[in-house]
Every structure is written in C-alpha cells, then in structure tokens.
Structure 1
Amino acid sequence: MSRPSFGSEIPAVFPDWSPYQDLDSAARAYLRDPEIALESLSGVLRGASVLGFTLERFVNEVNGVWQEVVVCDGTRLVLWHGEDVPPGDGPPGSLTSSLRVVALSAVTEVGCRRRLTRTPTGVVRVDSIDVYLLLSSLDEAGGGATAEDSTSTSTLRHDALRFGKTLDDGGAGQIARLEEFARLVASLVGRPML
C-alpha cells in the first residue's frame, strides 16, 4: 500500500532509511530536505554522540511533505520538524523548520505497543509498533473552564511524543529501528545524568 502523492512532484513511497546506522546517511536517503534538517540538528548537537534516532516523513493533501527527525544523545532528545507551508500561506516552496530539545530527565514514562501476527506456519511477526514518551510538561491543549461554564474542571494532560510504524508505513526495518530507539530511551530514563 502506498500513500497518495501530493501533486505530481512528490513520490508517495519513500526510500527505506532503516539500513543506515548513521544519521547523516539515513537522513540523506529518506528526507526530502536533509541539508536543512542536518544543519539545524548539528547546531544543537555540536559534536555530541548520536546514540539513536528515528525518522518520519509523509505527504498530506493540504501541506505537502511533513518530515521529522528525533535524535537521542544520551542526555537529550533533539527533534527537528519540517513541514511545507499550505498554499496561500507563503510563497510556493516555503516550509517551516523547527527544533525542540527535551531533556531525558523530562521523560517520565516510555511505552511501546507492538501488534503481533502469527503466520499460518506459526511464525510470529511484528506488523506495527506504537511508541510514546510521556513528558513532565503539560500539553498546551489541555483545555480548561470557559467563560460560559466556569464550573467545569480543567483536564491536565501531560505532553507526549508519539511515533509509529507499520509494515505498510515503513516496513519491518523501520519497525525494528523504532523499537530499538524506544529501548534506548527507556534504558536511559530515570538514570542519574552526569
């Protein structure tokens, strides 16, 4: 299954980044704008070791290409996000590029849900994975009381980072790499930072 393409310029199926163990090669194989992503990330990483990473890219009907890189350097998660600007919100070809840095000490919980299927021969395989990293910060969209209803209680929700891969969206290699990334972060959460 492939995603629909946006116009005729952007392919609906992207190359597989999972065989590449280094961030530079994986980003250049998978992202549409690897130079922008790598330059932004290097400005924050400044030579820090990249212990693990995960990549995401998809096309939507409104904004075009959406890209994300998440890097773990042992003490932080560095997230780069690039997204095409919707038509009419800027000159053609415009995109946003943003960075977010989250200290690993802010990750309070790591969750990983795998969907397993059994083949007719009895072999068990992973056909999708969903990963979440619950953060100590609060979600800005948590809601609250409105002027019309001052009796309602606000619902506080913690911010979370969510990632997912399926056999149709990324394949077995990217599922395995995302699970590897989740295990790395989980192994570091709660440990004293030097």
Structure 2
Amino acid sequence: MSQPGFGGQDVPAVFPDWSPYPDLESAARAYLRDPDVALEALGGVLRGASVLGFTLERFVNEVNGVWQEVVVCDGSRLVLWHGEDVPPGEGPPGSMTSSLRVVPVSTVTEVGCRRRLTRTDDGRIRVDSIDVYLLLTSLDEAPPGDEIGGVPRHDALRFGKTLDDGGAGQIARLEEFARTVAAVVGRPLL
C-alpha cells in the first residue's frame, strides 16, 4: 500500500525504522520522505550546534497525505520542524508546507513520560507504548471559549510511540529524548 506524496513520489504506508541511526542526518534520511527539506530548515537554525537528542515522527493521513516531524534538543533550545502535504484543492498537486518552531528549553516547566508495561508469559516486563509531554510556559493557541471553564491552558508538546507505530527501538529512542530534555530543564544555561 502506498500514497502519492510530495513531488509525485509514492510513499509506503509502513516506514523504515530510524531508531538504529545515532545521528540526526542518517535517521532523517532513513525515515522522512523529505529529509533534504527538513535538514535544510533545521540546519539554518542549529548552525553547527551539538544535537543532544532528537525524535522523529511520520504518518500518512487519508486527507492530507504525509505528515512529518523532527524535534531536536541542543541543550538550550528545542527546534521543531514539521512538514505536511497540502490537502487536495488547497494548492497545486504535490504541494507541502514546511514549518519551523524554536522553543527555548527555559520555557519547559515540566517533562512527563508515561510507559505502558506488560508482563510477557515468561515474566519479563515489556514496554508497549510511551507518551511524552513537555509542558511550556506559553499558552495554548485554542480560541477563546475553547478552554475548559474559561481558564487558558499551557501549551504542551506531545509525542508518542507504540509497538505498532514505531516499534521497540523508537519507543526507547523517544524515552531517551525525554530523559535528555529532562536533564537540561531547570539547569542554568552556559
């Protein structure tokens, strides 16, 4: 099964695993449909800064086509790249958006990580899924009136992986990313 993607190329419904690749460029080239677009955008901001950790996400949406995301932590910033196919009728065929967001690590007030564990028949513990959130000091962009009880909510970055969506390797890499961010949150910047 495949879907048409940016530039007319078909995109497989099951993507290669990026988790064995320790560096951002190799992982992006193995996993993203548009690694050159992502790496150029990220490189323009990182400009040689050390990448302490990263996570990648990609899925096919029946309406928009391919949705891709890269999040990089360089110790003082989170740099997020997001690429998404433009829905049919909202642009020429093969169009996509490329967005970049930079969030200072100093604005992360909380890092949360929830793992779902199961016990196998032989008694071993296995991680089936992981959900990670980074709570920010900024407010959610929800329109007025959408907040619960009229109280604004803080913005949060959310990431998740399961055995079916990413596998054990990507679950472990997302947990590693959460630990990397948690290790720099609240520390003085050098």
Is the TM value for this pair above 0.5? yes
Q: For residue 188 of structure 1, what is the aligned residue in structure 2?
A: 184
Contact 1:5 1:59 survives alignment (8 Å) = no
Q: For residue 26 of structure 2, what is the aligned residue in structure 1?
A: 25
Q: Secondary structure at the residue paired with 2:10?
A: coil
- The answer on 1:163 being equivalent to 2:159 is yes
Q: For residue 109 of structure 2, what is the aligned residue in structure 1?
A: 108
Give the superposition deviation at 1:56: 0.2
Q: For residue 10 of structure 1, what is the aligned residue in structure 2?
A: 11
Q: Secondary structure at the residue paired with 1:38?
A: helix
> In the aligned structure 1, how far is the partner of 2:149 from the partner of 2:30?
48
Q: For residue 172 of structure 1, what is the aligned residue in structure 2?
A: 168
> In the aligned structure 1, how far is the partner of 2:149 from the partner of 2:82?
33
Residues 15-164 of structure 1: matches in 2 within 5 Å?
Answer: 15-141=16-142, 143-144=144-145, 154-164=150-160
Structure 2 gap segments, 5+ residues each: none
Q: State the AA in 1 paired with 2:72.
A: V
Q: For residue 149 of structure 1, what is the aligned residue in structure 2?
A: none
> In the aligned structure 2, how far is the partner of 1:19 from the partner of 1:153?
45
Contact 1:142 1:154 survives alignment (8 Å) = no
Q: For residue 148 of structure 1, what is the aligned residue in structure 2?
A: none
1:36-68 residue CA offsets vs partner (Å, 9 max, x unmatched): 000000000011000100000000100000000
1:25-46 residue CA offsets vs partner (Å, 9 max, x unmatched): 0000000000000000000001
Q: Secondary structure at the residue paired with 1:141?
A: coil
Give the superposition deviation at 1:9: 2.3
In our comparison, the structure showing a higher alpha carbon Rg is 1
Structure 1 gap segments, 5+ residues each: 146-151
Give the superposition deviation at 1:142: 5.5
> In the aligned structure 2, how far is the partner of 1:167 from the partner of 1:36?
28
Percent identity between matched residues is: 81
Contact 1:6 1:60 survives alignment (8 Å) = no
> In the aligned structure 2, how far is the partner of 1:75 from the partner of 1:29?
27
> In the aligned structure 2, how far is the partner of 1:54 from the partner of 1:105?
19
Q: How many residues align?
A: 185
Q: State the AA in 2 paired with 1:183.
A: R
Contact 2:11 2:33 survives alignment (8 Å) = no
Q: State the AA in 1 paired with 2:3.
A: F
Q: State the AA in 1 paired with 2:164.
A: D
> In the aligned structure 2, how far is the partner of 1:87 from the partner of 1:124?
45
Contact 1:16 1:174 survives alignment (8 Å) = yes
Q: State the AA in 1 paired with 2:78.
A: L
